[in-house]
Amino acid sequence: MPAAAHVVSQNANPLETYGNFDLVKRFKLDFADIHVSKWKSRTSGLSVVHLDYDAPLVNGYFVVGTEIFNDSGCPHTLEHLVFMGSEKYPYKGIIDHLANRGFSNGTNAWTDTDHTAYTVSTAGEQGFLQLLPIYVDHILYPTLTKAGFVTEVHHIDGKGQDSGVVYSEMQGRENTSGDLMALRMQRLMNPPGSAYRSETGGLMEALRVLTVEQIRDYHHTYYVPHNLTLIVTGKLASGTASLLDVVQNQVEPSIVEHGQNKGPRPEGWKRPFVETPSADRKPLKTTLKETVEFPEKDESVGELQLGFLGPPPTAFLERKAIDILGLYLTSSAVAPLNKEYVEIENPMCTYIYFSEDTRATYVDLPVYVGSVPTEHLDTFDEKLKASLKRIADDGFDMDRMAMVIGRDERQLRSKLESSQGDTFSGNVITDSLYGSEDGKDLAPSMDEINMYTELKKWTSDQWAALLRKYYVDPPCIVVRGKPSGEMADRLDREEKARIAAQRERLGPAGIAECERLLEEAKKEHDKEIPTEILKSFPVPDVRSIAWIPVQSVQEKHGQKGRAPVIQSNNTELAKHIEQDGVPLPFFVQYDHVKSDFVTVHAYFSLEKVPARLRPLVSVYLSAFFSLPVKRSTGELLSHEEVVHRLDSDTVSYEVAVGVNGLFNDAIRVSIKVETGMYETAIQWLKDLVYGVQFDKERLAVNIAKIQQSLPEMKRDGDTVLGSVNSELLYDETYVPRMGSVVPMIDFIPKLAQQLQESPADVIKDLEEIRSCFTDPAGVRISVNGNILSLKEPRSTWARHFGKALPESELAHYRLASDMLSPVGKRPVKKAVVVNLPTIESAFVTHTAKGIQGWSHPEYPVLRVAIEVLNATESYLWRYIRGSGLAYGAHCSLDLEAGFISFTLYRSSNSIQAFKQAASVIKGLTDGSISLDETVLDAAKSSIVFGVAKSVSTPGRAALMSFVNQGLKGVSQNYNIELLEKYAHITKEDVIAALKKYFLPLFDSSTSVAVAVTAPGKADEVSEEFSKIGFEVERRTLQVEADELSGSDSEEDSDSDESR
Ligand SMILES: [Zn+2]
Residue 228 CA to residue 223 CA, distance in Å, equals 7
Q: Give the confidence band of 93 by pLDDT, cuts at 50, 70, 90.
A: confident
Please give the distance, rounded to the nearest whole angstrom, from the Cα atom of residue 163 to the centre of ligand 1: 14
- Bridge-based pairing of strands 351-354 and 364-373 is antiparallel
3-state secondary structure of 955: helix
Please give the distance, rounded to the nearest whole angstrom, from the Cα atom of residue 835 to the centre of ligand 1: 25
Please give the distance, rounded to the nearest whole angstrom, from the Cα atom of residue 107 to the centre of ligand 1: 13
Please give the distance, rounded to the nearest whole angstrom, from the Cα atom of residue 873 to the centre of ligand 1: 15
Please give the distance, rounded to the nearest whole angstrom, from the Cα atom of residue 61 to the centre of ligand 1: 17
Please give the distance, rounded to the nearest whole angstrom, from the Cα atom of residue 169 to the centre of ligand 1: 6
pLDDT greater than 80 at residue 732: yes
Please give the distance, rounded to the nearest whole angstrom, from the Cα atom of residue 839 to the centre of ligand 1: 17
Please give the distance, rounded to the nearest whole angstrom, from the Cα atom of residue 429 to the centre of ligand 1: 19
Q: Which homologous superfamily is 277-483 in?
A: Metalloenzyme, LuxS/M16 peptidase-like (3.30.830.10)
pLDDT greater than 70 at residue 29: yes
Please give the distance, rounded to the nearest whole angstrom, from the Cα atom of residue 502 to the centre of ligand 1: 25
Please give the distance, rounded to the nearest whole angstrom, from the Cα atom of residue 212 to the centre of ligand 1: 16
3-state secondary structure 606-671: CCCCCHHHHHHHHHHHHHCCCCCEECCCCCEECHHHHHHHHHHHCCEEEEEEEECCEEEEEEEEEE
460-467 vs 398-419: helix axis angle to the nearest 10?
A: 80
Asked whether 618 and 438 are in contact (CB, 8 A), the reply is no
pLDDT greater than 50 at residue 352: yes
Can you give the pLDDT at residue 786?
96
Q: Give the confidence band of 566 by pLDDT, cuts at 50, 70, 90.
A: low
> Residues 933, 939, 944, 947: is their CA dihedral positive or negative?
negative
Residue 565 CA to residue 961 CA, distance in Å, equals 14
Residue 866 CA to residue 860 CA, distance in Å, equals 10
517-562 pLDDT per residue, tens: 999 998 888 788 899 999 999 998 888 788 889 999 988 665 554 4
Please give the distance, rounded to the nearest whole angstrom, from the Cα atom of residue 152 to the centre of ligand 1: 9
| Nearest residue to 752 via CA among 802, 702, 815 | 702
Please give the distance, rounded to the nearest whole angstrom, from the Cα atom of residue 299 to the centre of ligand 1: 30
Residue 72 CA to residue 359 CA, distance in Å, equals 21
C-alpha angle 856-858-861 in degrees, rounded to nearest 5:
135
Please give the distance, rounded to the nearest whole angstrom, from the Cα atom of residue 124 to the centre of ligand 1: 28
Averaged pLDDT, 890-914: 94
Please give the distance, rounded to the nearest whole angstrom, from the Cα atom of residue 908 to the centre of ligand 1: 14
Please give the distance, rounded to the nearest whole angstrom, from the Cα atom of residue 204 to the centre of ligand 1: 13
Please give the distance, rounded to the nearest whole angstrom, from the Cα atom of residue 254 to the centre of ligand 1: 28
Q: Give the confidence band of 839 by pLDDT, cuts at 50, 70, 90.
A: confident
Please give the distance, rounded to the nearest whole angstrom, from the Cα atom of residue 79 to the centre of ligand 1: 7
Please give the distance, rounded to the nearest whole angstrom, from the Cα atom of residue 877 to the centre of ligand 1: 14
Asked whether 340 and 330 are in contact (CB, 8 A), the reply is no
Please give the distance, rounded to the nearest whole angstrom, from the Cα atom of residue 110 to the centre of ligand 1: 7
Percent of the chain scoring above 70 in pLDDT: 95
Residues paired with residue 49 on neighbouring β-strands, in sequence order: 38, 231
Please give the distance, rounded to the nearest whole angstrom, from the Cα atom of residue 114 to the centre of ligand 1: 15
* DSSP output for 398-466: HHHHHHHHHHHHHHHHHHHHHHGGGGGHHHHHHHHHHS-TTSTTHHHHH-HHHHHHHHTT--HHHHHHH
* DSSP output for 700-731: HHHHHHHHHHHHHHTT-HHHHHHHHHHHHHB-
Averaged pLDDT, 743-747: 94
Q: Tell me the CATH number for domain 32-275+509-536.
A: 3.30.830.10
**Cα 72 to chain centroid, rounded:** 27
Please give the distance, rounded to the nearest whole angstrom, from the Cα atom of residue 518 to the centre of ligand 1: 20
Residues paired with residue 818 on neighbouring β-strands, in sequence order: none
Please give the distance, rounded to the nearest whole angstrom, from the Cα atom of residue 77 to the centre of ligand 1: 7
Please give the distance, rounded to the nearest whole angstrom, from the Cα atom of residue 1010 to the centre of ligand 1: 25
Residue 928 burial (10 A CB sphere; 0-12, 13-18, 19+): exposed
Please give the distance, rounded to the nearest whole angstrom, from the Cα atom of residue 91 to the centre of ligand 1: 20
Asked whether 551 and 789 are in contact (CB, 8 A), the reply is no
Q: Give the confidence band of 2 by pLDDT, cuts at 50, 70, 90.
A: very low
Residues paired with residue 37 on neighbouring β-strands, in sequence order: 26, 50
Can you give the pLDDT at residue 15?
72
Q: Which residue would you say has higher pLDDT here, 560 or 824?
A: 824
pLDDT greater than 60 at residue 13: no
Domain limits, the chain: 32-275+509-536, 277-483, 571-816, 826-1036
Please give the distance, rounded to the nearest whole angstrom, from the Cα atom of residue 165 to the centre of ligand 1: 7
Please give the distance, rounded to the nearest whole angstrom, from the Cα atom of residue 809 to the centre of ligand 1: 53
Please give the distance, rounded to the nearest whole angstrom, from the Cα atom of residue 390 to the centre of ligand 1: 43
Contacts of 7 (CB under 8 A, 6+ apart): 27, 29, 30, 443, 444, 446, 447, 450
Can you give the pLDDT at residue 59?
96
Residue 621 CA to residue 654 CA, distance in Å, equals 10
296-351 pLDDT per residue, tens: 888 999 999 999 999 999 999 999 999 999 999 999 999 999 999 999 989 999 99
145-175 pLDDT per residue, tens: 999 999 899 999 988 999 888 998 898 889 9
Question: C-alpha distances in angstroms, 298 versus 16, 323, 482?
Answer: 64, 34, 10
Residue 574 CA to residue 578 CA, distance in Å, equals 6
Residue 704 CA to residue 756 CA, distance in Å, equals 12
- Bridge-based pairing of strands 35-41 and 57-65 is unpaired
Please give the distance, rounded to the nearest whole angstrom, from the Cα atom of residue 540 to the centre of ligand 1: 30
Residue 111 CA to residue 599 CA, distance in Å, equals 36
Phi and psi (nearest 5°) for 48? -130, 130
pLDDT greater than 70 at residue 1041: no
Can you give the pLDDT at residue 558?
55
Question: C-alpha distances in angstroms, 364 versus 190, 307, 313, 392, 437?
Answer: 10, 7, 9, 21, 22
pTM: 0.89
| Mean of the per-residue pLDDT values of the chain | 92
Please give the distance, rounded to the nearest whole angstrom, from the Cα atom of residue 431 to the centre of ligand 1: 24
Please give the distance, rounded to the nearest whole angstrom, from the Cα atom of residue 170 to the centre of ligand 1: 8
pLDDT greater than 60 at residue 177: yes
379-433 pLDDT per residue, tens: 999 999 999 999 999 999 999 999 999 999 999 999 999 999 899 999 999 999 9
Please give the distance, rounded to the nearest whole angstrom, from the Cα atom of residue 149 to the centre of ligand 1: 13
Please give the distance, rounded to the nearest whole angstrom, from the Cα atom of residue 81 to the centre of ligand 1: 10
Q: Give the confidence band of 668 by pLDDT, cuts at 50, 70, 90.
A: very high
Residue type, 173: R
The distance in angstroms from the start CA to the end CA of the chain is 72
What is the strand order of the sheet 652-659 is part of? 551-555, 587-592, 779-785, 597-605, 662-674, 652-659
Can you give the pLDDT at residue 570?
87
Domain range 571-816, CATH architecture: 2-Layer Sandwich (3.30)
Averaged pLDDT, 50-71: 95
Residues paired with residue 593 on neighbouring β-strands, in sequence order: none
What is the strand order of the sheet 477-484 is part of? 288-295, 477-484, 301-309, 364-373, 351-354
**Which stretches of 537-587 are DSSP H helices?**
571-578
Please give the distance, rounded to the nearest whole angstrom, from the Cα atom of residue 47 to the centre of ligand 1: 25
Residue type, 59: N
- Bridge-based pairing of strands 47-52 and 35-41 is antiparallel
Please give the distance, rounded to the nearest whole angstrom, from the Cα atom of residue 1014 to the centre of ligand 1: 20
Can you give the pLDDT at residue 188?
96
Please give the distance, rounded to the nearest whole angstrom, from the Cα atom of residue 744 to the centre of ligand 1: 33
Please give the distance, rounded to the nearest whole angstrom, from the Cα atom of residue 80 to the centre of ligand 1: 6
Phi and psi (nearest 5°) for 659? -140, 130
**Cα 415 to chain centroid, rounded:** 16
Please give the distance, rounded to the nearest whole angstrom, from the Cα atom of residue 153 to the centre of ligand 1: 9
Please give the distance, rounded to the nearest whole angstrom, from the Cα atom of residue 469 to the centre of ligand 1: 38
3-state secondary structure of 551: strand
Can you give the pLDDT at residue 1045?
35
Asked whether 1021 and 842 are in contact (CB, 8 A), the reply is yes
| Nearest residue to 899 via CA among 968, 859, 848, 844 | 848
840-889 pLDDT per residue, tens: 889 999 999 999 999 999 999 999 999 999 987 889 988 888 777 888 89
Residue 545 CA to residue 152 CA, distance in Å, equals 36
Residue 144 CA to residue 141 CA, distance in Å, equals 9
The reply to whether domains 277-483 and 826-1036 share a CATH topology is: yes
Q: Give the confidence band of 747 by pLDDT, cuts at 50, 70, 90.
A: very high
Residue 40 CA to residue 18 CA, distance in Å, equals 10
C-alpha angle 854-855-858 in degrees, rounded to nearest 5:
100
Please give the distance, rounded to the nearest whole angstrom, from the Cα atom of residue 365 to the centre of ligand 1: 25
| Nearest residue to 1012 via CA among 713, 724, 710 | 724
Phi and psi (nearest 5°) for 941? -65, -40
Please give the distance, rounded to the nearest whole angstrom, from the Cα atom of residue 40 to the centre of ligand 1: 30
- Bridge-based pairing of strands 551-555 and 587-592 is antiparallel
Please give the distance, rounded to the nearest whole angstrom, from the Cα atom of residue 841 to the centre of ligand 1: 15
Phi and psi (nearest 5°) for 1012? -110, 120
Residue 1043 burial (10 A CB sphere; 0-12, 13-18, 19+): exposed
Please give the distance, rounded to the nearest whole angstrom, from the Cα atom of residue 120 to the centre of ligand 1: 16
Phi and psi (nearest 5°) for 904? -115, 130
C-alpha angle 404-406-411 in degrees, rounded to nearest 5:
95
Can you give the pLDDT at residue 564?
54
Please give the distance, rounded to the nearest whole angstrom, from the Cα atom of residue 51 to the centre of ligand 1: 27
Please give the distance, rounded to the nearest whole angstrom, from the Cα atom of residue 76 to the centre of ligand 1: 6
Please give the distance, rounded to the nearest whole angstrom, from the Cα atom of residue 849 to the centre of ligand 1: 33
Residue 154 CA to residue 80 CA, distance in Å, equals 12
Domain range 826-1036, CATH architecture: 2-Layer Sandwich (3.30)
Q: Which residue would you say has higher pLDDT here, 1045 or 624?
A: 624
Reading phi first (left if > 0) and then psi (alpha if -120 to 50, else beta), residue 193 is in left
Averaged pLDDT, 641-654: 96
Give the start-end residues of each E strand in 9-103: 17-18, 21-28, 35-41, 47-52, 57-65
